[in-house]
Amino acid sequence: MPPSLLKVQLVTFTPPTGFLIITTPDSLDKERDSTMKAKTTTPSRADLPEGYPEFIVSLKQRIRTAQVKAALSVNRELVLLYWQIGDDILTRQEREGWGTKVIDRLSSDLIIEFPEMKGFSVRNLKYMRKFAAAWRDIAIVQELLAQITWYHHIALLDKVKDPAEREWYIGETIRNGWSRNVLVHQIDSGLVNRAGASVTNFPITLPAPQSDLAREVVKDPYIFDFLGRSTEKSERELHQSLLEKLRDFLVELGIGFAFLGSEYHLEIGNQDFYLDLLFYHTRLHCYIIIELKIGAFVPEFAGKLNFYLSAADDLLRDPAIDKPCIGILLCREKNRVIAEYALRDMSKPMAISTYHLGPTLPPQFQEQLPDAARLKDIILKTAPDDGV
């Protein structure tokens, strides 16, 4: 086929809607031509009227905002349409005894009538019915459910059976702007049962609005499955592993954590001290110090963290802008009663949580697995010759 007859399409993913924009060479040529024409007629910066740079920045931002609103509006109408279709199917089946095979015929008829529309497969129509069965109140569909994509809803229908938990995940998705993949990860890690489960002294060390929000921010346990299966790590190795997987670490910490540094240096009384991990939380408006411990929690850990928080409040915090610093102790395990006693009379806000690494194989299976050298030898022996 001559090159001139080839049809090449460029596909661009556009978050947060997930829509695909398909661009053909013809449209690219037109865009290139219009851009070149614009360049020849664009006045120089010196010829621009006063205030133009600020105006164009503001105008671009308004256009982008309008584009996002338009995409969200399309998503809202799509979710409402799917709920209405599912509700109609459900009602017909319950009142008129329609069987499941009618969905096959409905799918075929809708695809013929609307060939340009995707989403009328048998599988998706069954999801619509399941969606309507899960949410019988149209008001909640309009006010809450239409704020996330259909693909989020499919994940929730597949993975979360309890209605209250499903609604909790929807609220967190809206508040944190989770993609579908992040939502699935949070569901698989059981976030609904981990959020706010840490041992803290926030109610007695922070004012009510701040203490409630801080409690929502911390989890117990933290799931570090992205670090692999190894359970034997020194504190330095754990520290380094988290830094190497910083993006995954930040996702697990949650929205609002901004990383500032590791082994952050503080000079106190002419001596050097180092904070394991230092963050700033953009919603709590405070510094957060995280200390890593590979063993079980002991009360001495809380005393040292309390010391760090006192110093950070003096050396890092700007009282006019920042709220009091918060500390999080991450330990491999803890006795909850001991942790509660340790925090009871501490003056600084702290949380004590545990962390879990990836699942480990039982010892009997570990012994049966070949080591790296043996595995390499097996692969080389079983690989086909180049001439075969």
Burial 251-286 (b: 16+ CB within 10 A, else e): bbbbbbbeeeebebebeeeeeeeebbbbbbbeebeb
Q: Are residues 242 and 151 in the same domain?
A: no
Given pLDDT bands bounded at 50, 70 and 90, which one contains residue 144?
confident
Q: State which residues form the domain around 116.
A: 65-185
Q: Are residues 171 and 208 in the same domain?
A: no
Q: Do 9 and 24 touch, CB atoms closer than 8 A?
A: yes
Residue with tokens 């006045």: 43
- More confident position, 347 or 54: 347
Q: What is the distance of C-alpha 110 from the center of its chain?
A: 35
Does 103 have pLDDT greater than 80?
Answer: yes
Tell whether 32 is covered by a domain: no
Arithmetic mean of pLDDT over the chain: 79
Statement to judge: residues 348 and 206 lie in one domain: yes
Domain presence at residue 2: no
Residue 60 in any domain: the answer is no
Angle ∠(326,330,335) on CA atoms, nearest 5: 110
DSSP letter for each residue of 61-84? HHHHHHHHHHHHHHHHHHHHHHHH
Backbone angles phi, psi at 319, to 5 degrees: -55, -25
The predicted pLDDT at position 189 comes to 86
Does residue 270 sit within a domain? yes
* 255-299 residue pLDDT tens: 899 999 999 999 999 999 999 999 999 999 999 999 999 889 999
- Preceding amide of 221 cis, omega within 30: yes
Domain boundary among 165, 185, 205: 185
> 333 and 239 in one domain?
yes
Angstrom distance (rounded) from CA 80 to CA 87: 10
Is the predicted pLDDT of residue 310 greater than 50, yes or no?
yes
Residues 213, 169 share a domain: no
364-374: pLDDT as tens digits? 444 555 555 55
pTM of the entire structure? Answer: 0.65
Could you tell me where the DSSP H helices lie in the chain?
A: 25-41, 52-96, 101-113, 122-134, 138-143, 150-159, 163-176, 180-188, 191-194, 202-205, 208-217, 235-244, 246-253, 299-315, 336-344, 363-368, 372-382
CATH of the domain at 128: 1.10.10
Check whether residue 323 and residue 228 sit in a common domain.
yes
DSSP letters spanning 230-294: -----HHHHHHHHHHTHHHHHHHH-TTEEEEEEEEEEEETTEEEEEEEEEEETTTTEEEEEEE-S
Decide: 362 and 324 in contact? Cβ < 8 Å. Answer: no
Shared domain check, 355 and 210: yes
Task: Give the whole-angstrom CA distance, residue 17 versus residue 14.
Answer: 6
Strand partners, 279: 259, 288
Residue 71 resides in a domain: yes
Q: Assess whether 266 and 309 both reside in one domain.
A: yes
Q: pLDDT value at position 68? A: 63
State residue 203 phi and psi, 5-degree precision: -60, -25
pLDDT band at residue 51 using 50, 70 and 90 as cut-offs: low
Bridge partners (DSSP) of residue 351 are: 200, 328
* Helix-helix angle 336-344:299-315, to 10 degrees: 40
Residue % of the chain over a pLDDT of 70? 73
149 and 263 both lie in a single domain: no
Q: How far apart are CA 282 and CA 217, in angstroms?
A: 11
Residue 280, domain member (yes or no): yes
* Per-residue pLDDT band at 38 (split at 50, 70, 90): very low
On the question of pLDDT at 386 being above 50, the answer is no
In a domain, 100, yes or no: yes
Residues 82 and 201 in one domain: no
Least confident of 22-31, 214-223, 319-328, 340-349: 22-31
In DSSP notation, 167-181 reads HHHHHHHHHHT--HH
How far apart are the C-alpha atoms of 388 and 378, rounded to whole Å? 19
* CATH (domain of 239): 3.40.1350.10
For 196-233, how does the pLDDT look when each residue is reduced to its tens digit (9 = 90+)?
889 999 999 998 888 888 988 899 899 888 877 555 56
Domain count, the chain: 2
Residues 6+ away with beta carbon under 8 Å from 121: 107, 111
* 227 & 169 share domain: no
Confidence tier at 114 by pLDDT (50, 70, 90): confident
158 and 227 share a domain? Answer: no
